[in-house]
Amino acid sequence: MSGEAASSTSLDGGAALPGARGLEGFAWDDGRLLRARVVECALGRVCGGCGRPLGRPIAFVGDAEERERNAFHLPPLHVACAATLQRQPAAPAELVTTAGFEFVRPTRDDADPEPRFVPNSLL
């Protein structure tokens, strides 16, 4: 995600996934993230792309800043679903695989107001 894209990834009403117009998946509709589905992906350990249970490895895609922070806004994905997402024009370029993750719900005083995923066992 570019800097512009990172700021447009707000989930408060279904914000657009950068470069993903027309993309359909479990956690987004026509390229818009669906907050309830993102939370469901976290709590149910299901893929944000296809909605099926996650195994290992788990993939996260994001921009260079998200990779550097090790905190991603897009939900967890199967590696194949991540590859499908990355084929979209202007899609997030960074891919991280992990064996597990933590789901962080922002607090009122959190600088980042969006839920995020923190991989904890990078592969």
DSSP assignment letter at 91: -
98: which strand partners? 58, 122
Q: CA 68, 71, 72, 73 torsion: positive or negative?
A: negative
Per-residue pLDDT at 78: 96
Question: Residues 47-105: pLDDT tens digits?
Answer: 999 999 999 999 999 989 999 999 998 999 999 999 988 887 767 789 999 999 999 99
Per-residue pLDDT at 10: 44
Domain count, the chain: 1
Per-residue pLDDT at 22: 56
Per-residue pLDDT at 28: 83
Is residue 42 within 8 A of residue 115, CB to CB? The reply is: yes
Per-residue pLDDT at 87: 85
Residue 96's H or E segment, with its range, is strand 94-98
Question: Residues 6-25: pLDDT tens digits?
Answer: 334 444 455 555 545 556 67
Answer yes or no: pTM beyond 0.85.
no
Domain that holds residue 10: 3-119
Distance, CA of 77 to CA of 37 (rounded, Å): 13
Distance, CA of 9 to CA of 60 (rounded, Å): 15
